[in-house]
Amino acid sequence: MSKSKKIIVANWKMNPASFKEAKAIFSAIKPKNKKSKIKADVVICPPFVYLSALADYRSTRIKKRSTLINLGAQDVFYEPEGSFTGEISPLQLKNLGVKYVIIGHSERRALGETNEVVRNKILACIKYIITPIVCVGENKRDESGNYLSFIRTQIEEIFSGIPKSALSKIVIAYEPIWAIGKSALREATPVESNEMAIFIKKVLSDLYDQKAVENVGILYGGSVNTKNAGEFLKNGGVDGLLVGRESLDSEKFNEILKVVSSK
């Protein structure tokens, strides 16, 4: 990831219901127009079932724009091939032209994904030259600061065995789980995001060294919307955003992209 650019990732999750809808959303996303030049890498992460068709559509239509939309995946398995029913390999994603993969999202962890599995997926992505977007985040924020120990353990277990040379090829997304979805206690603030971005880099510096983590991109992901995107980019200490629900509305997502061009 280029530190001179922001990165805006759209996580469509298990939406929409048809390729017709997916194509309509994808085609309406405009990372560049006559009035604004978006200084960002834009990544769309649709469900697996739409990746191949969107890759074909992208190759025939999106190349006409000077700023390309990158394709990402919402998950990956850590083996290149084999008897793993229902899994998608990094090699398959690479052959589709996928450039990014979300790894360790809280919704995957809720289904049992462990820090060890996340680490294996990172190593697989690095091997096949796909940028992993590694999600970390706490379930709750307590006044005693135990959430910091939780994040530290998460990072230490994930990055155990990840070579220092791979750090610049990894993006980390901080997602405070307590601030996401219908059960959110409240929205996180840019100040909290900034504190966590600093803390994440501090933990990585302890594992490696300060110079090694200079080029590690940090994203914020937690109910990002048109109202708060600008503040997180300006004061959240992050290099970009992981957008969920509002990435399915092309008008709202384009508004978020416009915010990037003003920063």
**Could you give the CA distance from residue 188 to residue 179 in angstroms, rounded to a whole number?**
6
Strands 100-103 and 171-174: unpaired
What 8-state DSSP symbol labels residue 128? Answer: T
Handedness of CA 69, 76, 54, 15 (dihedral sign): negative
Statement: residue 241 has pLDDT above 80: yes
What 3-state DSSP class applies to 250? helix
Query: In this predicted structure, what is the pLDDT of residue 47?
Result: 98
- Per-residue pLDDT at 189 exceeds 60: yes
Cα dihedral value 47, 51, 54, 59, nearest 10: 150
Confidence of residue 17 (pLDDT cuts 50, 70, 90): very high
What domains appear along the chain, each with residue ranges and CATH number?
6-261 (3.20.20.70)
In whole angstroms, give the CA distance from residue 243 to residue 10.
5
Active site residues per annotation:
105, 175
Rounded distance, CA 113 to CA 117, Å?
6
* pLDDT tops 70 at residue 34: no
Indicate the pLDDT class of residue 157, thresholds 50, 70 and 90: very high
Q: What pTM was computed for the model?
A: 0.94
Tens-place pLDDT, residues 190-219: 999 999 999 999 999 999 999 999 999 999
Across the range 214-225, mean pLDDT stands at 94
Query: In angstroms, what CA-CA distances link 104 with 117, 178, 192?
Result: 8, 16, 21
**HSE-CB of 2 using CA atoms within 13 angstroms:** 7
The amino acid occupying position 69 is I
Task: Work out the number of other CB atoms within 10 angstroms of the CB of residue 3.
Answer: 11
Inter-CA distances, 63 with 58, 59, 68, 77, 244, Å: 7, 6, 6, 29, 25
* CA nearest to 263, candidates 239, 242, 247, 244: 239
Q: Is the pLDDT of residue 33 over 60?
A: no
Question: What's residue 62's pLDDT?
Answer: 58
Alpha-carbon span 179 to 182, nearest angstrom = 9
The residue-averaged pLDDT of 243-252 equals: 96
- What's the pLDDT band for 66 if we cut at 50, 70, 90? very low
Beta strand segments in 82-239, E: 100-103, 131-136, 171-174, 217-220
Q: Which residue has the higher pLDDT, 261 or 228?
A: 228
